[in-house]
Amino acid sequence: MSLTELLPLTDVTACCAPLTREAISAENAEKLAKTLKAIADPARLRLISMVAAHEDAEACVCDLTEPLGLGQPTVSHHLKILVDAGIFTRDKRGTWAYYRLVPGALDSVAQHLVTV
């Protein structure tokens, strides 16, 4: 696993106050919107759900194409968006790359949205 594969490009785990409790800055709004856009897609939400539910909470593209009903290039494209957004890590082992959730990444997004 290379260092770049361990470090997401966007640090979505750097947590902020809920946006309904504290005025969100223009800069933080840009960052949060970028992360939300990455997950605001039905196929990518299902990928997140599938990877989390998979054995050892990781999966390769080979595990995901059939249940998702999409071709490998399309699935790889969605996976890349999730890696670039700091939601998934990518670990190349042998023939396949394995994807898993970055701990805390989705919780950080949720933390911005809670109001209570």
Q: Which residues bind to a copy of itself, rule: CB under 8 A?
A: 19-24, 26, 29-30, 32-33, 36-37, 39-46, 48-50, 52-53, 101, 106-107, 109-111, 113-116
Q: Find, among 67, 63, 27, 51, the residue nearest to 99 by Cα.
A: 51
Q: How far is the CB of 102 from a copy of itself (least distance, A)?
A: 10
Question: How many whole angstroms separate alpha carbon 73 and alpha carbon 30?
Answer: 29
Structural contact between residues 113 and 18, judged by C-beta atoms closer than 8 angstroms: yes
Task: Identify residue 16 by its one-letter amino acid code.
Answer: C
Nearer to a copy of itself, 30 or 92 (CB): 30
| Residues forming beta bridges with residue 100, ordered by sequence position | 58, 89
Q: How far is the CB of 111 from a copy of itself (least distance, A)?
A: 8
User: Locate tokens 């990455």: which residue?
Assistant: 38
Q: How far is the CB of 2 from a copy of itself (least distance, A)?
A: 25
Nearer to a copy of itself, 61 or 88 (CB): 88
